[in-house]
Structure 1
Amino acid sequence: MSSLDPALVRLLDGVDLTGRTVVVTGATTGMGLETAYALAAAGASTVLAGRDAERLSAARARVAEVATALVHTVELDLADLVSVGRGAVELAGLVERIDVLINNAGVMFTPLLRTAQGHELQFGTNHLGHFALTTALRPLLGDGSRIVNLSSAGHRLGEVELGDVDWRRRDYDKFAAYGAAKSANILFTVEADRRWRAAGVRSFAVHPGTVATDLARHMDRDDFKEMVRLASSASTAPSGSSSVSVEEPPRRMTFATPAQGAATSVWAATTPELDGRGGLYLADCAVSSDVRPSATDPERATALWALSEELVSAASSASTDGR
């Protein structure tokens, strides 16, 4: 493991994932690639999921440098639920069991764009695509399996508006939309854990830190200034408050490397400290209470699940009908 970031080496000291299978979405670059690389180095069989065949091939070559087990790739686009369905079928043909599913892929602060099915891109990709993938792969998750959903402290920027998840009735705010999508990741974690914990399948939401990746490709200098202001404001608001304070000057934002950002995902996937636990929000390789109550509210989590099922089902029906 000498080629790993020192923090990941320490996390994986004594960890042997031989015989385990890990699936990572968004595995072609950034944190996803670093996460897959680290878990493969610890002995896991890995499945790299992404939307670009050429980048998947390059990622597979890199992960194979340290892998001692099989490395597979599956092409799927989380912004297209039909593609997600095809990818899930292909993945199920490659492995018999998934020990860790890391829903890492995402988009951030995009202009108002829509998925193939017409959903707001951040909600559609970050939450709905992963919801569709995870529920399709549920038969491969068994006792001891873990689901790791990449959320963010950015969930504080917005709440899920269940009556308008696609921003058709409101003026679009890309920061609030990102916050809503990241809140949805946590709500999904809470409800998945409630539904599946009796079968031994546990779920966790992860804040990776502020990481320098191409996730910020849609941002310009003014956007970064606004993100710093909003992050500073949200951090000074009372817990559970929907308002923000601007009494303090914005903090200077520091960025972690993708390998450092992968640390909490790797910890969530491997640490025995989380055995028998779930439905938790994690940050800095620990359980964190720094989460808005609305993002962990069980009733909202159940309602979002029901809505997500409806939206995925509608996409499946439309695909079957050829529309």
Structure 2
Amino acid sequence: MNGFGPDTTTDEVLAGIDLRGRTAVVTGATSGLGTETARALAASGAAVILAARDGTAAAAVADRIRGEIPDAELHAVAVDLADVRTVRAAARRIDEIGRPLDLLLNNAGVMYTPFGRTADGFELQFGTNHLGHFLLTTLLLPHLQDGARRSGTPARVVTVSSDAHRAHAVDLGDPNFVERPYDKFVAYAQSKAANVLMTVELQHRYADSGIQAFAVHPGVCATGLSRYMSRDDFAEMKRMSAGKPGLLANLKSIPAAAATSVWAATSADLDGAGGAYLADCGIGRASAHAADPVTAAALWELSERLTAR
């Protein structure tokens, strides 16, 4: 046992870990868990590529991190996960940086948004939380495989999901709410289930070529992710979490909420545990609908078709 738990912070996870010579990509790096993840990895010596919708804001965060860690190697890359064209452009920009990749942390996301569609017509939460990260991940696989070959250890892909995935499975027949009425809670839950399913299939397809994949539940934390939520939405969240007393009252700090992602990216305790669902710096268990290998394969094939544009 590592002694870690729900209150463990990123710096505690990384104590004694030297990431010099390693390169990480962190999406959603301009606020909340993404900024803390990037800072913590840089503090342990990793070169970090901060990927975010606003490239100027990403550069400003990089400057702030350099203020704390003067010798940090940081790069800012603009990527709008709700636009396939910019995801492809971001992958090209990362290619130009010219570094094999050791870590990809798919951290960005939106939650409980009003109905909307991405630039490519996907439902906004499914398109951003799953399809954008799916495309970025698949485009960066050659660089991750290069990183694994160079270091002699598997590269890791860490995707931030949520225990909200338990509420609803992915509707493979209508993931973009074309036929069914839109429900923001259903849409968010299915996007988070898709994050877990992608992890399962990524591990299945690419473990033999040096990739380890993990899905992470960060815990409940006050970040900008809740910016779309109304008072009624918070009441509905409270109702849905009724089986977990105190869940919404005991919020994690940002360093504690980001800790499981950092642990997933770096801990030797997870060698050989690829495909796992993690929470509170430990191995958990995803719902059956999000861990089913047949569904995972079907979602992967659907995602390939949807993003091939």
Pick the aligned partner of 1:275 from 271, 294, 299.
271
Shift of 1:230: 1.1
Aligned equivalents of 2:193 and 2:124: distance in 1?
15
Pick the aligned partner of 1:264 from 256, 260, 263.
260
Aligned equivalents of 1:73 and 1:153: distance in 2?
30
Shift of 1:254: 2.6
Equivalent residue runs for 1:1-16 within 5 Å: 7-16=9-18
Equivalent residue runs for 1:269-308 within 5 Å: 269-289=265-285, 291-308=286-303
Aligned equivalents of 2:281 and 2:191: distance in 1?
22
Contact between 1:157 and 1:178, CA under 8 Å: does it hold in 2?
no
> 2:64 matched to 1:68?
no
Equivalent residue runs for 1:98-137 within 5 Å: 98-137=101-140
Q: How many residues align?
A: 295
Aligned equivalents of 2:224 and 2:12: distance in 1?
26
Pick the aligned partner of 1:180 from 172, 176, 190.
190
Aligned equivalents of 2:37 and 2:70: distance in 1?
13
1:216 is matched with 226
Aligned equivalents of 2:60 and 2:246: distance in 1?
39
Q: Which runs of 5+ in 2 are unaligned?
A: 1-6, 149-153
Please give the per-residue CA displacement for 1:142-182, whole angstroms capped at 9, x wherever unaligned: 23100000000010121100000000111111001100000
Equivalent residue runs for 1:194-233 within 5 Å: 194-232=204-242
Shift of 1:7: 2.4
Contact between 1:145 and 1:200, CA under 8 Å: does it hold in 2?
yes
> 2:84 matched to 1:88?
no
Aligned equivalents of 2:34 and 2:288: distance in 1?
28
2:20 is matched with 18
Deviates more, 1:210-219 or 1:59-68: 59-68
TM-aligned CA distance change 1:294 to 1:30, over 3 Å:
same
Please give the per-residue CA displacement for 1:228-249, whole angstroms capped at 9, x wherever unaligned: 111225x6xxxxxxxxxxxxx8
Equivalent position amino acid for 2:175 in 1: V
Aligned equivalents of 2:10 and 2:131: distance in 1?
30
- Root-mean-square deviation (CA, aligned residues, Å) is 1.5
Shift of 1:258: 1.7
2:3 is matched with none
Shift of 1:67: 5.5
Q: Which runs of 5+ in 1 are unaligned?
A: 236-248, 317-323
Aligned equivalents of 2:246 and 2:15: distance in 1?
38
Bigger RCO of structures 1 and 2 (CA < 8 A, at least 6 apart): 2
Contact between 1:229 and 1:251, CA under 8 Å: does it hold in 2?
no
Aligned equivalents of 1:200 and 1:132: distance in 2?
19
Shift of 1:54: 2.7
Shift of 1:82: 0.6
TM-aligned CA distance change 1:225 to 1:67, over 3 Å:
farther
Aligned equivalents of 2:173 and 2:260: distance in 1?
33
